[in-house]
Every structure is written in C-alpha cells, then in structure tokens.
C-alpha cells in the first residue's frame, strides 16, 4: 500500500468544530466486514450489537491542559507553548513545541501568567518547532503542576478554528478518563455517556481499561509514499494484569472483544503473545499499523472518521479491508458525516 491510496477530498465543512449536543447522540455508521453492508444509526444504538460477556476495551488516558501562552523576555512577543511530555519531574524539564518557533532560541526566557509567576528557560532545540524547557517556579512540585493546569488551555486540535470554550474542558475528555498524560483525546471514547455505559453494564458488557497517553504524533500526516519508511512517535502505555484477565477470558469464552478507538487497538497490538493472548506491559510503543496486518485480539472496533493520509485511516483500512473502507468513506462524504475529533463514529464489526 502507498500513501496515495489514502488520499481523498475532505470538504472543510465536514470537519466538526463542536461536539454533538449529547455525547451518545452523534451519528454512527455500522460497517459489516463479512457482508459489506453499511447501516446508519445513532451512537446509542451501539448496545444492539453486543451481548452478555462481550468486552469493550477503553483507553482511560486523561487529557491535560497542554497549551500555554507566554511572553518572550524583552520583546514581549506572544508565544504559544504546547507541552508534549515531562522529561524530568525534579528539574521540571519538558519537551514542548513553540509557535512561532523562529523567534525562540536557546537561552531565551518565557514568562507566563498576568503576574509572571511562572518562568521557563529554553535549554535545547529538539526539532524545527521542538524545544526543551526548564520551568522555574517558587513552590513545591504539586503547586507547580497546579500552576500548569491553572494557566493551561484544553488542547483542542488546531483545525478547530475557534477560541477554546469552558465546555471543551469537559467535552474533550472521555467520561472514564483517569490517568493524566495525553495531549489529545482518544476521540472514539468521547461518544460514551454515563447513561449509555450504565445500559451496557446492565446488558452484561464488561469493560477493560488500558492506558495509552496520546501524543501529537498520532495526528502527524504521513509524508513518505512508502509506508514502511514512516516512523511513529513513541507514546507511553500501560496494560494491567486485570485488563489482560478480562480480555483473555472473553477470548477463551468466544465472546467479542471491541476496541474503543485506534489508541486502544495500538496498545493491545503492542503487547500480544505468540498464543494471541494479551500480556501486561508498562513502557512505550511506536507501533504503526497499516495494511496488510493480521490483528490478534479485537473482533470489532469503534472509531471516528479520520482525515486523509493519517496513520489512523491506515489502521482502519487494515482492519476493515481497504476497498470496504473506501466505500464506507465515500458513503460518509455523501451522507455528510462529521469528521475528526468532535465528529461522528463508525463501528466496524
């Protein structure tokens, strides 16, 4: 498969700027891999496709307010700082992206907050926009993290061309988010409401939680025609023994295992034994799934509609079958489904 196989024309008006009014009332396209049938439903209808003993695998990562705005010393120029990952808690070192990058050099200081209560010094260049910052703050580590949360903004994707609203802090987060560390939401999970989760529970569906801290690399467009040359950014992940037990027991019973989102799928596929069972894991993954690919555990998956040439689209193609994925996407464009983070959902069975 080549990069050009994953290109299509996506009209700008189909990129969702706001979430659906109610989480579980976005649209749902159901794609059947065996029959090739495509159905149009509401997300809450998902309950009809699962039975007692089936398992949904959720990514319980929590998005932190990763976007800060500071001012450069002397010039006062406004600089956006996007926190990517903490490198050293004790020294308060962080990997960040800065914008505009051309103005930010090693040794520069940036000031944050109306009272300049937080200062950062640029100590290294990592990529064209990447920098390593050392934060300077008078206070304990806990107070420093609180300050980051106070000054930070919900990191809704750049394509959403509007100011962040207070609602984004809630809606750009799954209702089961627990483990802080993502700079982007695992978006398939945004469609689950408390009410829907309760209904699924009553029907006997089990939930297994894994953690994959979504980094910005997930959304980097692929820029090489030969997919085998693309390198994914590494993302931190945790799979507990408890999650393995729930998933492996479902497989043994011949129940369905459904991955909620591409991130849950990447986490699971990063820690599979040769016997096709899930192993506990704590570490990093840079797994890139593209066709052809033999999936080990999931029988079905829930995902959003992805942008052209994205690694997410490539995984969907591998799971769904390329021709059926193209047919489903053509249908989505025709029926004006909403794309990307705040968009509609697809269930592939």
Has residue 161 been placed in a domain?
no
Q: Please state, in angstroms and as integers, the Cα–Cα distance from residue 73 to each residue in 109, 124, 228, following that order.
A: 6, 17, 43
User: In this structure, are residues 9 and 330 in contact, taking their beta carbons and an 8 Å threshold?
Assistant: no
Same domain? For 248 and 324 the reply is yes
Q: What is the mean pLDDT of the chain?
A: 94
Q: Please state, in angstroms and as integers, the Cα–Cα distance from residue 169 to each residue in 86, 156, 319, following that order.
A: 21, 9, 32
The total of structural domains in the chain comes to: 2
Has residue 162 been placed in a domain?
no
Has residue 223 been placed in a domain?
yes
Same domain? For 73 and 55 the reply is no
Same domain? For 13 and 88 the reply is no
Query: Which whole number is the average pLDDT over 163-186?
Result: 93
Same domain? For 195 and 327 the reply is yes
Query: Which whole number is the average pLDDT over 150-176?
Result: 91
Q: What is the pLDDT at residue 101? A: 85
Has residue 187 been placed in a domain?
yes
What is the rounded CA–CA span in Å between residue 70 and residue 8? 38
Q: Please state, in angstroms and as integers, the Cα–Cα distance from residue 349 to each residue in 55, 210, 316, following that order.
A: 14, 21, 12
Query: Which whole number is the average pLDDT over 270-290?
Result: 95
pLDDT surpassing 90 at residue 76: no
Has residue 164 been placed in a domain?
no
Same domain? For 38 and 98 the reply is no
Choosing from 105, 125, 153, the residue where a domain stops is: 153
Give the length of the chain: 349
Q: What is the pLDDT at residue 255? A: 97
DSSP 3-state of 264: helix
Residue 90 burial by CB count (10 A; 0-12/13-18/19+): exposed, middle or buried? Answer: exposed
Confidence label for 138 from pLDDT (cuts 50, 70 and 90): confident
Q: What is the pLDDT at residue 126? A: 81
Phi, psi of 231 (to 5 degrees): -110, 125
Q: What is the pLDDT at residue 127? A: 74
Confidence label for 130 from pLDDT (cuts 50, 70 and 90): confident
Has residue 328 been placed in a domain?
yes
pLDDT surpassing 90 at residue 346: yes
How many other C-beta atoms are found inside a 10 Å radius of the C-beta of residue 175? 13
Confidence label for 301 from pLDDT (cuts 50, 70 and 90): very high
Please give the distance of CA 248 from its chain centroid, rounded to a whole number: 24
Query: Which whole number is the average pLDDT over 119-126?
Result: 90
Same domain? For 173 and 142 the reply is no
Choosing from 124, 153, 182, the residue where a domain stops is: 153
Has residue 297 been placed in a domain?
yes
Say which residue, 343 or 125, is predicted with more confidence. Answer: 343
Note the pLDDT tens digit of each residue in 11-33. Answer: 999 999 999 999 999 999 999 99
Same domain? For 344 and 202 the reply is yes
Choosing from 86, 119, 153, the residue where a domain stops is: 153
Confidence label for 222 from pLDDT (cuts 50, 70 and 90): confident
pLDDT surpassing 90 at residue 226: yes
Residue 268 belongs to domain with CATH number: 3.40.1780.10
Please report the DSSP string for 74-141 in residue order.
Answer: TT--EEEEEEEEEEETTTTEEEEEEESGGG--TT-EEEESTT--EEEEEEEE-SSSEEEEEEE-SS-H
Q: What is the pLDDT at residue 282? A: 97
User: Does the pTM of the predicted model rise above 0.75?
Assistant: yes
Same domain? For 132 and 252 the reply is no
Confidence label for 344 from pLDDT (cuts 50, 70 and 90): very high
Same domain? For 23 and 106 the reply is no
Q: What is the pLDDT at residue 253? A: 96
Q: What is the pLDDT at residue 1? A: 84
Has residue 310 been placed in a domain?
yes
Residue 117 belongs to domain with CATH number: 2.40.10.240
Q: What is the pLDDT at residue 129? A: 81
Same domain? For 210 and 328 the reply is yes
Note the pLDDT tens digit of each residue in 31-72. Answer: 999 999 999 999 999 999 999 999 999 999 999 999 999 999
Domain that holds residue 236: 3-63+169-348
Same domain? For 214 and 342 the reply is yes
Same domain? For 241 and 340 the reply is yes
Please report how the helices 322-334 and 311-320 are oriented relative to each other, as an axis angle in degrees rounded to 10: 120
């Amino acid at each position: 498969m080549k990069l050009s196989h994953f290109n299509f024309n996506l009209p700008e008006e189909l990129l969702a700027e706001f979430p659906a009014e109610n989480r579980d009332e976005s649209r749902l396209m159901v794609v059947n891999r065996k029959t090739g049938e495509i159905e149009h439903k509401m997300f809450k209808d998902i309950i009809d496709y699962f039975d007692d003993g089936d398992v949904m695998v959720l990514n319980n990562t929590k998005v932190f307010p990763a976007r800060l705005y500071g001012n450069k010393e002397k010039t006062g120029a406004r600089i956006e700082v996007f926190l990517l990952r903490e490198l050293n808690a004790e020294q308060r070192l962080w990997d960040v992206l800065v914008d505009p990058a051309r103005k930010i050099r090693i040794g520069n200081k940036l000031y944050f907050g109306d009272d300049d209560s937080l200062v950062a010094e640029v100590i290294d260049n990592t990529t064209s926009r990447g920098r390593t910052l050392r934060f300077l703050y008078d206070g304990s580590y806990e107070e420093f993290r609180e300050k980051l949360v106070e000054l930070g903004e919900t990191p809704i994707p750049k394509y959403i061309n509007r100011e962040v609203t207070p609602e984004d802090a809630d809606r750009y987060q799954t209702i089961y988010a627990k483990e802080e560390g993502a700079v982007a939401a695992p978006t398939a999970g945004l469609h689950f409401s408390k009410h829907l989760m309760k209904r699924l529970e009553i029907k006997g569906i089990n939930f297994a939680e894994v953690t994959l801290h979504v980094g910005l690399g997930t959304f980097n467009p692929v820029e090489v025609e030969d997919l085998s040359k693309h390198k994914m950014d590494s993302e931190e992940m945790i799979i507990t023994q408890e999650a393995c037990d729930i998933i492996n027991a479902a497989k043994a019973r011949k129940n369905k295992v459904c991955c909620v989102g591409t991130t849950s799928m990447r986490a699971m596929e990063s820690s599979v034994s040769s016997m096709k069972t899930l192993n506990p894991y704590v570490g990093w993954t840079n797994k890139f799934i593209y066709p052809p690919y033999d999936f080990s555990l999931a029988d079905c998956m829930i995902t959003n509609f992805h942008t052209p040439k994205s690694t997410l689209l490539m995984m969907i193609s591998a799971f769904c079958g390329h021709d059926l994925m193209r047919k489903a996407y053509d249908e989505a464009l025709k029926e004006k489904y909403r794309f990307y983070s705040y968009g509609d959902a697809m269930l592939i069975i």
